[in-house]
């Protein structure tokens, strides 16, 4: 069955809206908000860093929801959502890690350190990269989907661990944006009204970007599966 | 205020590269799959046309009795002479 044209139009409209939102978010982060007093221009990376982490978190949450839904219903559409959200989440968390490194170099004087937060985010990234590799190693489609659903649920522990670690470990130097911390982080800054507004707009934009990218990836997967099915049918007829 | 604008550029450039790679990868694979679907459509249409032609050929007048029997080639293991 072809992808409904009404949904295609909605996705196209949403994509255009996302591009506009992203342009505004960049304008706010690069021009509207001034440079932070103590950190200078590099602090502007923070809006993308936190926004992309929110996107990755939403993606991996979608993977959990998809995994639970698949195990309950055994409908392949949930597996497609799980796969799409892992791929998009991996890309977004790669942005989080790399923008964090570019911020860390001038602020911490190092690109990378085995801080509890940095270590946990590296484990999280590897856990989801392993999801894709292990998934592609299983040939039976039903087993593949079942494995992916269970793995997607278990791997979410690494996401929760990444969020919680800075709040419970006193030896982390990673700043905490919201909530209490037992540590004395290096690189914190005062949040002015403009910084707060820019941050919220960027968070909202990255949430929309995540949803749109996942939708595009689902649409691609549906097309790939349809073509594959039709090719098999053709071969069976010959 | 520290002068570290080059790190900001680096961060935004890295974000742009990863974003473009993600979007480009989805777009490229979609184009590839859409092209494959076109080929499948084309192949199916050709198959249908061939079957229709074969169907028309099958609807011709029935040949005389005996004409349908398999021909026995002279000197073959099935021929009376062999």
Q: What is the pLDDT of residues A119-148, one digit of tens each?
A: 999 999 999 999 999 999 999 999 999 999
* pLDDT higher than threshold 70 for residue B78: no
Which of A71, A18, A81, A22 has its CA nearest to residue A48? A22
Closest chain B residue to A237, measured at CA: B47
- Test A106 with B4 for CB contact under 8 angstroms: yes
Q: Is residue A54 part of a domain?
A: yes
Q: What is the ipTM of this complex?
A: 0.91
Q: Is residue A98 part of a domain?
A: yes
Q: Is residue A2 part of a domain?
A: no
What are the chain B neighbours of A41 within 8 Å (beta carbons)?
Answer: 3-5, 7-8
Q: Is residue A19 part of a domain?
A: no
Q: Is residue A105 part of a domain?
A: yes
Q: Is residue A233 part of a domain?
A: yes
Residue A147 CA to residue A2 CA, distance in Å, equals: 28
Q: Which domain holds residue A100?
A: 43-237
- Test B18 with A91 for CB contact under 8 angstroms: yes
Q: Is residue A221 part of a domain?
A: yes
Mean pLDDT across A161-182 = 81
Q: Which of A199-203, B50-54, B59-63 has the highest mean pLDDT?
A: A199-203
Number of folded domains that form chain A: 1
Q: Is residue A30 part of a domain?
A: no
Q: pLDDT per residue over A26-51, tens digit each? A: 999 999 998 888 899 999 999 999 99
Mean pLDDT across A150-159 = 97
% of chain A at pLDDT higher than 70: 95
- Test A40 with B18 for CB contact under 8 angstroms: no
Average pLDDT in chain A: 93
């Amino acid at each position: 069955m072809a992808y409904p044209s009404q949904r295609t139009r909605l996705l196209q409209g949403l994509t255009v809206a996302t591009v506009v939102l992203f342009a505004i978010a960049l304008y706010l982060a690069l021009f509207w908000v001034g440079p932070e007093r103590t950190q200078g221009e590099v602090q502007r990376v923070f809006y993308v860093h936190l926004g992309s982490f929110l996107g990755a978190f939403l993606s991996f949450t979608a993977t959990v929801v998809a995994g639970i839904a698949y195990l309950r219903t055994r409908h392949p559409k949930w597996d497609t959502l799980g796969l799409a959200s892992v791929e998009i989440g991996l890309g977004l968390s790669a942005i989080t890690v790399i923008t964090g490194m570019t911020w860390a170099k001038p602020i911490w004087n190092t690109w990378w350190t085995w801080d509890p937060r940095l270590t946990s985010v590296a484990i999280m990234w590897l856990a989801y990269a392993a999801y894709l590799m292990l998934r592609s190693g299983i040939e039976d489609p039903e087993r593949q989907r079942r494995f992916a659903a269970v793995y997607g649920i278990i791997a979410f522990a690494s996401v929760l661990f990444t969020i919680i670690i800075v709040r419970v470990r006193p030896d982390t130097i990673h700043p905490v944006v919201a909530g209490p911390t037992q540590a004395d982080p290096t690189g914190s800054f005062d949040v002015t009204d403009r910084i707060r507004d820019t941050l919220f707009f960027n968070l909202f934009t990255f949430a929309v970007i995540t949803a749109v990218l996942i939708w595009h990836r689902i649409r691609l997967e549906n097309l790939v599966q349809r073509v594959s099915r039709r090719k098999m049918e053709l071969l069976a007829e010959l | 205020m520290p002068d570290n604008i080059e790190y900001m550029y680096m961060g935004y450039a890295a974000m742009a590269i990863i974003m473009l790679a993600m979007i480009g990868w989805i777009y490229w694979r979609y184009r590839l799959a859409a092209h494959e679907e076109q080929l499948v459509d084309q192949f199916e249409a050709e198959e249908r046309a061939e079957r229709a032609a074969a169907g028309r050929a099958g609807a011709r007048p029935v040949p005389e009795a005996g004409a349908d029997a398999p021909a026995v080639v002279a000197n073959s293991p099935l021929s009376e002479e062999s």
